Structure 1
Amino acid sequence: MKLATLKDGTRDGRLIVVKRDNSAYALATNVALTLQAALDDWGVREPQLRALAAQLEAGTVQSRPLDVGALLAPLPRAYEWLDGSAYLNHVLLVRKARGAEPPATLKTDPLVYQGGSGEFLAPTADIPLADEAWGLDFESEVCVVLGDTPQGTKAEQAGEHIRLLMICNDVSLRNLIPDELAKGFGFVQSKPATAFGPFALTPDELEPAWREGRVHLRMRSILNGELVGDTDAGPEMHFSFHELIQHLCKTRGFTAGTVLGSGTVSNADRARGISCLAERRMIETIEEGKPRTPFMKPGDTIDIEMLNAEGQSLFGRISQKVVKR
């Protein structure tokens, strides 16, 4: 089942069900007005939404052509947004770029931060940038949306609480990060609003690529029209979503609608390319002594998507342009 949120002039939009080929949609407001409302009562609403999705595929319900530009993020805002750093290759490279040592618990204790979730960017929304010196970077990631997840949830139980999968561009301001982290209190200014792909999918839509809490598909990152990354999101995700959820739930539970990111998809094989500019700059530093690739500036574009074996864009495409604020 594929869900999305249609713009309607309100903050939270209207819930729609999307056809598998991304061509059309049906309003789902007779089931739940918003995606958050559906998540709050998932046990009742999911079967109703699946029935509507089946009618849409069969052509037995009123549908309309889909325009991705008319969509908000699947969840335009959320109760919580947490982002891990589950790909150790990315952690090692970016830490080197900052001149910082990786933590001693790198392979045993996940890195996770909590970001702002009051406003998420639509998949085609511009990325505002007030100062190029801040070092704007994209980060291509996979995400899960949780149902109510109690404290003490173990990795073995975590899959029961994953409702939906998405992709995102976790925008970063790289040159603000070192000073913030030096305070010992985490990101704030260096993490502006995150953008999400058009569609949220139930995990069964990805099978067999969804297994053991990982998405075994390629993440494509296209910068200014050039394919710069075709990274494999599965094998090198050191901490699965199941393990990340266990980590989060050690001391508290999480409410339905919580969004959890994987961190930048990253592969040790450099032929796979990059999912953020910081990695390319670090590789240039290693090979050439200094970075030569600039961070993003007004006028630059970034497109992010994930294709299935048939070449279909599963989550739709994030397609953004940097604009001067």
Structure 2
Amino acid sequence: MPLAVFSQADGPRRLGKVIGDQVIDLGIAAPGLPGDVAGFLAAGEPALAAYRAVGPDSPGALPLSAVRLHAPVPNPEKFLAIGMNYSDHGAEAKELGLDVPKWQVWFNKQVSCINGPYDDVVAPRVSEKLDYEAELAVVIGKTCRYLTPEEAPSVVGGYMVANDVSARDWQMRTGTMTLGKSFDTHGPIGPWLTLAEEVADPHDLDLRMLVNGEERQHANTSQLVHDIWAQISYLSQVMTLRPGDILATGTPAGVGVARKPPVFLQPGDVMRVEIAGLGHIENRVIADR
């Protein structure tokens, strides 16, 4: 029963608990809870206890079909992504002349790129090589530093579906990759946050990317080169991780730039990322204005 950010028509964004085909407005059912996901995670066990007490008969129920879902974490302190973290994606990158890294390679997606789970993705007028990357996103739930991999599971708040939309021509211009990964709208996430306690094994989740209904990527998170706990531990040696921080855990083979011949996204294309147990996001590509 995941945690969602929703609105009705042009109304304010509210926090809700998704139960079946309805969402329970937590501002009504549990008015003492924080009004945003990062605040909810930072509140810890008392917030979780109040959340668990909200059921299908709680006040504030609305049909999911009657609301708009938004990015669960719209303004994290950090949005980080790891490169070439599936061996098959590393192999296709090597064919493109890229070195497969020995260590974890991380880059920033600027938080201004965050987009809703069903909102349009803009094809920039300055890029001709727009691409997709289906990914599992981890959301940090506790402030932490200098963790061991064994300690890492205790700081995860939950999991989301993500699409690391990439302007490949801009990505390849510099070694940092940040600009090519950070265009406005190029970070769709959602459709909600599935809490860590509801995911039995994040290293056994099927994920796939479809473009216009055609499967382009299909893998399982068991294939991660550096697993989630290693990723969190590695980053925590460098920086303090805080509630709401987003970590995109890597994409498998099948990206457009590695196809023969390369196939890049065009206005009108529809990307759909699915992860078993976490739901899906779906975004249409539109032309820049």
TM-score by length of 2: 0.89
The answer to whether the 8 A contact 1:113-1:186 is kept is yes
Distance in 2 between the 1:304 and 1:68 partners? 22
Distance in 2 between the 1:228 and 1:186 partners? 23
Distance in 2 between the 1:216 and 1:26 partners? 29
Structure 1: 5+ residue runs without aligned partners? 267-273, 285-290, 308-313
Superposition misfits of 4+ residues, deviation over 4 angstroms? none
Tell me if 1:249 matches 2:268: no
The answer to whether the 8 A contact 1:72-1:122 is kept is yes
Alignment of 1:86-101 (within 5 A): 86-97=85-96, 99-101=97-99
2:188 to 181, 192, 195: 195
Distance in 2 between the 1:300 and 1:96 partners? 26
Shift of 1:147: 2.0
Residue identity opposite 2:235 in structure 1? L
Give the structure 1 partner of residue 278 of structure 2.
Answer: 315
Residue identity opposite 1:322 in structure 2? V
Residue identity opposite 1:296 in structure 2? L
Tell me if 1:174 matches 2:184: no
Distance in 2 between the 1:48 and 1:319 partners? 31
The answer to whether the 8 A contact 1:233-1:265 is kept is no
Q: Secondary structure at the match of 2:52?
A: helix
TM-score by length of 1: 0.80
Shift of 1:163: 0.9
Give the structure 2 partner of residue 311 of structure 1.
Answer: none
Give the structure 1 partner of residue 6 of structure 2.
Answer: 6
Give the structure 2 partner of residue 47 of structure 1.
Answer: 49
Alignment of 1:153-164 (within 5 A): 153-164=147-158
The answer to whether the 8 A contact 1:165-1:202 is kept is yes
Shift of 1:228: 2.7
Tell me if 1:123 matches 2:117: yes
Give the structure 2 partner of residue 84 of structure 1.
Answer: 82
Tell me if 1:149 matches 2:136: no
Residue identity opposite 1:241 in structure 2? I
Shift of 1:32: 2.0
Distance in 1 between the 2:240 and 2:127 partners? 38
Residue identity opposite 1:141 in structure 2? E
Q: Secondary structure at the match of 2:51?
A: helix
Shift of 1:132: 7.2
Give the structure 1 partner of residue 197 of structure 2.
Answer: 204
Give the structure 2 partner of residue 38 of structure 1.
Answer: 40
Give the structure 1 partner of residue 128 of structure 2.
Answer: 134
Residue identity opposite 2:282 in structure 1? S
Q: Secondary structure at the match of 1:239?
A: coil
The answer to whether the 8 A contact 1:77-1:119 is kept is no
Q: Secondary structure at the match of 1:37?
A: helix
2:159 to 158, 162, 165: 165
The answer to whether the 8 A contact 2:170-2:179 is kept is no
Shift of 1:190: 4.1
Distance in 2 between the 1:101 and 1:250 partners? 24
Deviations 1:210-251 (A, max 9, x none): 1xxx431211211112223332222x1111110001110113
Structure 2: 5+ residue runs without aligned partners? none
Distance in 2 between the 1:76 and 1:160 partners? 23
Give the structure 1 partner of residue 271 of structure 2.
Answer: 302
Q: Secondary structure at the match of 1:149?
A: coil
Distance in 2 between the 1:240 and 1:68 partners? 38
Distance in 2 between the 1:38 and 1:78 partners? 13
Residue identity opposite 2:78 in structure 1? E
The answer to whether the 8 A contact 1:4-1:199 is kept is yes
1:278 to 233, 257, 276: 257
Give the structure 1 partner of residue 245 of structure 2.
Answer: 258
Aligned residue pairs: how many?
280
Give the structure 2 partner of residue 269 of structure 1.
Answer: none
The answer to whether the 8 A contact 1:73-1:120 is kept is yes
The answer to whether the 8 A contact 1:176-1:189 is kept is yes
Alignment of 1:233-244 (within 5 A): 233-234=221-222, 236-244=223-231
Distance in 2 between the 1:18 and 1:134 partners? 39
